[in-house]
Amino acid sequence: MLNRRKAGRTSGSGNAPAGAPAVAERPPPGSVANLAAATAEDEQLLVAIGRGDREWALPELYKRYERRLYGLGLRLLGDPGLAEELVQETVLRLWRTAARFDPARGTATSFIFAVARRLAVDLWRRPSSRPYQAEVEQSSDPDEVIDRLLVQLAVREALDALSEAHRQVLELSYQGDMTQVEIAARLGISLGTVKSRTYHALRSFRRAMTERGLDG
């Protein structure tokens, strides 16, 4: 079974073995091109795992998704041990089911988180796996609870995928409830720059949300 230590030692794409999916140099963080490149790389890794490449492709995918899956587990299950279990079980399930992945039907991220969601529901339904149950209405359906948390996590991840400048204008606009004129004054930049950053930030945000199986 894979573990955190092994994944942490996995080197970057520069040390990939012969025949492994080629990973090109990334465009600037937060750009549409960067998100598209990351999506293509993840799809290549899943396809490679489905074809039996578990020596390099599986640890590489683990390294890319371990933190996100662990964060998902913490948000959904409220316990570090269960979060770690979700990571391990998701990777093992991907090991067995990656051959079913079809890039024409959805992104690698959507496929991976669909697997994680089903496993999280199973873990949540275990009586011993509900340390945060008191915070949830007793009548809440587990699927609805997890769906809401998945959306919240996806929004946060989509924002984190943006460049700092793009994330800043969106957070000030939507979370700070500021107008573009107020944002320009706060940041000390022109109104035109704010408008341009907002336009490109929204494009990247919508793309990031779509990759997570949600409409941005």
pTM greater than 0.75: no
Class for the domain spanning 1-12+31-161: mainly alpha
pLDDT tens digits for range 69-95: 888 888 777 788 888 999 999 999 999
Question: What are the residue boundaries of the structural domains of the chain, listed by start?
Answer: 1-12+31-161, 163-216
- What does the chain come to in residues? 216
pLDDT tens digits for range 178-192: 999 999 999 999 999
CATH of domain 163-216: 1.10.10.10
Q: How far is CA 126 from CA 13, 23, 67, 116, 129, in A?
A: 38, 40, 23, 16, 5
